[in-house]
Amino acid sequence: MEYVVDACVRETEELFELAKSWFHQCRSNPFLALEIQRGYYFEIGVFDGNVMNIALDENAEETRIFVSEDNEGSVLLTLPQQHHWESDISVEKPPKWVRMAFNRFCGQGLVLHCLPYWDGKFSLSEVAAFLNRPVAEVAKDVLEADANRLDTGQQVLALSVDMTAENPAYWMVDIRGFLLGSLNTEYPREIYGGMVRR
């Protein structure tokens, strides 16, 4: 894909890298791809507090991506039609569960709620609700796993949790590492009243 960058506040290279990153997310996260396919502008916050609008140019017959920035630092990322994405890179069709969830849960502007689920990112409170356990108990397990330097499974579990938030309910869990660590620990862990052992 060719990028046409019109920078105003940021450096051209910085804007180019930002646009590349978000185009990658549009291709790789089917919730985001479906939202853009609807024809809506999609607004996101970028790292410096400004806003990026992502839109699809339904009339363009070219493969170029246009990145324009106003004098306040807001960015418009205009993508080519999606059939051009498929000609340049591999784009898989969304799984059936994604399309169902998108149609039922994602009204305009609500797709942000679903984006992390594709990447396997959950809050600790969501994990606790799934396990039917109090948040405090699951947080205690994570802290104990973090303190256990002799069990690789426990360390993987602990490293899958971003504990920067003050309230454990808002700790972010990468469920892939969390499950891998849970299932490969040397110590049994209670899940749903049963035991999962190594």
Residue with more model confidence, 165 or 45: 165
State the pLDDT at residue 196: 42
State the pLDDT at residue 45: 63
- For residues 99 and 68, give the distance between their C-alpha atoms in angstroms, rounded to a whole number: 31
Residue 189 — pLDDT band, cuts 50, 70, 90?
A: low
- Domain extents in the chain: 3-107, 121-196
Question: For the segment 44-101, what is each residue's pLDDT rounded down to a tens digit?
Answer: 666 566 666 777 776 766 778 888 888 877 888 888 776 666 654 445 678 898 888 8
Flag whether the pTM goes above 0.85. no
Mean confidence (pLDDT) of the chain: 81
Least confident of 31-35, 129-133, 142-146, 176-180: 31-35
Question: For the segment 10-36, what is each residue's pLDDT rounded down to a tens digit?
Answer: 888 988 888 888 888 887 888 888 887
